[in-house]
């Protein structure tokens, strides 16, 4: 069984989520990530149900909390960092995010223009006769 003991006293210089400089997180890193994820989830539910926030403010709050949640998952669970040995992972993540953004933006654009490009209902009814 391997030990999760620190390799050197330079652990203060490591990025969050890493433990021994090799990109492997210790139990403490996973617990911090789990606690942060839990708090962000509770915060987003609280923002969505808050009577104080306007609908646009609640949407903005949930969006910010969702982005923070994704960052917590990337750092503490997937161990993505800015270290030089993570270059390939960061490029793959960037490409994936670009493709996802492209698909989501394209879908939203299509759905927003769907109503204006549809045939009126009365013409559809006449065609079915």
pLDDT, tens only, 55-102: 899 999 999 999 999 889 988 888 887 778 888 888 888 899 899 999
1: pLDDT strictly greater than 80: no
pLDDT tens sequence across 7-23? 444 555 565 555 555 54
Task: Judge if 76 and 88 occupy the same domain.
Answer: no
The reply to whether 22 and 57 lie within a common domain is: yes
pTM, two decimals, is 0.60
Element (H, E) at 20: none
| 5, part of any domain | no
Kindly state whether residues 33 and 74 are assigned to the same domain: yes
Question: What DSSP state is assigned to residue 10?
Answer: G
**Residue 6 tokens, joined:** 């620190």
Q: CA-CA distance, 12 to 19, in Å (whole number)?
A: 10
Long-range contacts of 65-69 (CB under 8 A, 24+ apart): 65/40, 68/40, 69/37, 69/40, 69/41, 69/44
6 pLDDT band (50/70/90 cuts)? very low
Sign, CA torsion 53/55/60/63: positive
Question: Can you read off the two tokens belonging to residue 66?
Answer: 């969702």
Kindly state whether residues 34 and 63 are assigned to the same domain. Answer: yes
Instruction: Provide the residue range defining the domain that includes 40.
Output: 11-81
């Amino acid at each position: 069984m391997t030990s999760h003991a620190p390799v050197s006293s330079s652990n203060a210089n490591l990025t969050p989520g890493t433990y021994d400089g090799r990109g492997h997180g210790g139990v403490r890193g996973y617990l911090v990530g789990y606690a942060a994820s839990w708090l962000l989830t509770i915060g987003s539910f609280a923002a969505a149900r808050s009577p104080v926030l306007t609908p646009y403010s609640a949407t903005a709050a949930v969006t910010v909390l969702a982005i923070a949640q994704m960052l917590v998952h990337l750092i503490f669970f997937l161990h993505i960092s800015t270290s030089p040995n993570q270059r390939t992972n960061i490029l793959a993540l960037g490409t994936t995010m670009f493709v996802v953004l492209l698909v989501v933006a394209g879908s939203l654009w299509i759905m927003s223009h769907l109503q204006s490009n549809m045939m009126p209902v009365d013409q559809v009814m006449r065609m079915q006769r």
